[in-house]
Each structure stands twice: as C-alpha cells, then as structure tokens.
C-alpha cells in the first residue's frame, strides 16, 4: 500500500454518492502524489534465473481499470500470456537473492527494475497478482484460478456481508479523478445487494441493486443498479476464504467510471501474519509484513487500529493525518488504500493489493 509515512461498475451518480477514484499517499513512502513512492529494492545483484510458477490452469485476470480478461502460465511457468480483453506476454525471471518475500516472486525480463511490479501466485494457486499494459500504462492485475471460481448458476454463492475496498477512475470531471472508498456490501441468496459506503452504519443504503449471471460465461456475474449493468463480478474461494472481485465499467453517470473492488467476508480483523507481495497504483511492487497490530514496511513499524471504522477493517494513521485502510483474508490476501488529504470525494487515490507467496 502506499502507506504514507511522513518523516521529519457501480453507479457513477449513486456511486459518486456511493463512492467513485489514482494517486493517493504512499504509506511506504516519505512523499505523496503520483509516482512518489518507492517500493523496497527487489534485486540485489544476485543470480537471475527463469521463474517457474506451477499453476497451469486457465486464469481470470482483472486489471486495475482495464476490465477482465484471461491469462495462463506456460513453458513451465516461465511465461504469462494475457488474452480476451487484456493482452501482452510476460517472460518471467526470478532473483533468488532478493529480500523475502520478493525472492518468491517473478519479474518481467523486459524493462524490469528493482521496484517493478511482480508476478506471484499463492502456494495453493487460487489467487495471485501480476501486471500488464492498459492504454500504454503498466497496471496491477489480480489473478484468479478458474477452478476456484463460483459458478454463476448459483446466486446463493454470493450471499454474505463483505468488507470492500474500492478504487475508481472517473472521467466525469476535468481532469479525471481517482477515488478510494471503503464499504460494506450485503448480498442475499437471490443476488440482491445493498451498500453502505464510507461510514460505519447507514439508515438508508448508499446504493442497491442485484447480481445476475453474465451471458456467455460460467462464472462471471453482472452487477446492476438502477436498471443498468455497472460492473462484472467474480467470487473466488468459499466460506471464510472467499474473495469478491469486481471490475467496474459504469457509463450511467456524467462520465465513465472504471476500477476494481476487492471484498472479503466481514469478520474481525485477523490477517494471516507474514510477508506479502503487493502491486500498486504507482506501478511498483510494495512488499510488507502484516500482523494483528502492526505493519512493517521497509523497516518502518506502523501501528494498526483494528476494526475501525467498521469490523474487519484496520487503519493506520500517519503523522500528516492520512488514514490508510486495510482488509485481509485468511486466504492470504491483503488490500490497502487511501486518499490524499483523506478526500473521499476527489482523491487522488492510492490502492494496492497482494498475496502471501
């Protein structure tokens, strides 16, 4: 996350009411603003070898603002190829001498630098992160093993209450804005949903709508509100290990809102303790170590406040007042975000997500 350390497709209107989002503040940086953060150095001048990611299943790939496509590892896990709505090929190499957890992640052999975004899958292969070019910009990508996705013939698979962090890019203003928001989304067994955004309770839902099976897909869901499809959603994993993944493409307001939402079942903050590899809106990797009460980012120890502002979300407030929001999952997922100046309406936003290798 751009944990900023200061030292010395939902409703564009209802969602603007609900949220809308990127250059926030990097909690791992001494600066703020676009591209101001720098992740921990990846390479150490050690031996670079071909990477070998074992997952050979078809993957669903969701880019930060580029929508959903497909991806697959090949050539013994040394190549990742995107298809569908995403394109590009990464030839993957590994620096075994990089500091943990980057020694378990892969770099693109072309144009790589020590801070470049990484490619990694969890040890069980269900979730991962990578990156690809979208409109000429390198964007972080969330990877899901298709064999772990819920079938869209069963709307009941979505049922539950989820803590969600959202990143949105909104062209309805000049220049376009990026925003990050937190929300609680409740879904019933018929696919009806309601949202409470940027607050602990709502007397009236910020937005409502329904999910339905996406035509031509076995596991994609259409997320609708106000009679319009605002986004495409996926459910990966089951029970406490489930993750709600939404790729937004909302044309129902004054502009186009694109972005990504990541949600986990609402339970008390209790991350899997350990080191995570995260990719960020700054286009860099950002490894960090998380525990119940602390984050360690680049040797800086940051205190967390658990279950604030709502159960299951943790916050880290730094000396300039920037509030960083975090969600986690027992599936080994960590998501972070903030807005510069804590400006939920106009951002700019910072967002990062990653997994434990």
Averages of pLDDT over runs of 10 residues in the chain (357 residues) are: 42 36 41 30 57 94 96 96 96 86 90 82 91 93 98 97 98 92 98 96 95 97 97 97 97 92 98 96 92 88 95 92 96 96 95 96
pLDDT score, position 47: 64
Question: Is the domain of 154 the same as that of 272?
Answer: yes
Closest-CA residue to 339 (of 298, 252, 281, 271): 281
Question: Is the domain of 154 the same as that of 59?
Answer: no
Last residue of some domain: 87, 117, 148?
A: 148
Last residue of some domain: 84, 116, 148?
A: 148
pLDDT score, position 99: 86
pLDDT score, position 254: 82
Q: How many domains does the chain have?
A: 2
Question: Is the domain of 108 the same as that of 165?
Answer: no
Three-state SS sequence of 247-301: EEEECCCCCCEEEEEEEEECCCCCCCCEEEEEEECCCEECCEEECCCEEEECCEE
Cβ atoms of 315 and 295 closer than 8 Å: no
Cα distance between residue 136 and residue 342, in whole Å: 29
Cβ atoms of 255 and 176 closer than 8 Å: yes
Largest separation between any pair of C-alpha atoms in the chain:
58
Cα distance between residue 11 and residue 87, in whole Å: 27
Question: Is the domain of 203 the same as that of 338?
Answer: yes
pLDDT score, position 244: 98
Question: Is the domain of 207 the same as that of 263?
Answer: yes
pLDDT score, position 354: 98
Where in the sequence is the domain holding 307, given as residue range(s)? Answer: 1-48+149-357
On the CB side of 104, CA atoms within 13 Å amount to: 17
Question: Is the domain of 243 the same as that of 129?
Answer: no
CATH number of the domain at 109, please: 2.40.128
pLDDT score, position 86: 97
Q: Residue 241, SS3?
A: helix
pTM across the whole model: 0.88
pLDDT score, position 50: 87
Last residue of some domain: 98, 118, 148?
A: 148
Cα distance between residue 117 and residue 71, in whole Å: 17
Question: Is the domain of 54 the same as that of 40?
Answer: no
pLDDT score, position 123: 83
Cβ atoms of 104 and 144 closer than 8 Å: no
């Amino acid at each position: 996350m751009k944990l900023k350390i200061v030292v010395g497709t939902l409703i564009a209107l209802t969602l603007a009411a609900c949220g809308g989002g990127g250059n926030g503040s990097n909690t791992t940086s001494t600066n703020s603003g676009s591209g101001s953060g720098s992740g921990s150095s990846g390479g150490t001048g050690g031996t670079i070898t071909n990477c070998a990611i074992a997952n050979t299943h078809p993957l669903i790939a969701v880019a930060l603002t580029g929508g959903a496509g497909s991806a697959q590892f090949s050539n013994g896990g040394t190549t990742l190829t995107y298809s569908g709505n995403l394109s590009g090929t990464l030839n993957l190499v590994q620096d075994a001498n990089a500091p943990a957890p980057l020694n378990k992640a892969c770099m693109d052999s072309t144009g790589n630098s020590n801070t470049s975004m990484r490619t990694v899958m969890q040890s069980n292969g269900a979730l991962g992160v990578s990156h690809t070019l979208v409109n000429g910009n390198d964007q972080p990508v969330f990877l899901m093993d298709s064999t772990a996705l819920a079938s869209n013939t069963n709307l009941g698979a979505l049922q539950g209450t989820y803590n969600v962090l959202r990143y949105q890019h909104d062209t309805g203003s000049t220049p376009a804005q990026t925003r990050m928001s937190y929300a609680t989304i409740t879904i019933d067994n018929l696919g009806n949903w309601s949202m409470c955004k940027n607050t602990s309770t709502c007397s009236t839902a910020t937005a409502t709508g329904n999910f339905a099976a996406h035509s031509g897909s076995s596991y994609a869901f259409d997320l609708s509100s106000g009679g319009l499809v605002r986004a495409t959603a996926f459910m990966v994993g089951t029970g406490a290990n489930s993750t709600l993944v939404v790729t937004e493409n909302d044309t129902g307001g004054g502009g186009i809102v694109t972005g990504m939402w990541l949600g986990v079942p609402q339970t008390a903050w209790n991350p899997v303790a350990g080191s995570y590899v995260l990719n960020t809106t700054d286009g860099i990797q950002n490894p960090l170590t998380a525990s119940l009460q602390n984050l360690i980012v680049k040797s800086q120890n940051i205190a967390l406040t658990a279950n604030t502002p709502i159960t299951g979300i943790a916050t880290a407030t730094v000396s300039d007042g920037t509030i960083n929001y975090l969600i986690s999952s027992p599936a080994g997922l960590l998501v972070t975000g903030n807005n510069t100046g804590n400006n939920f309406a106009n951002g700019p936003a910072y967002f990062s997500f990653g997994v434990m290798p």
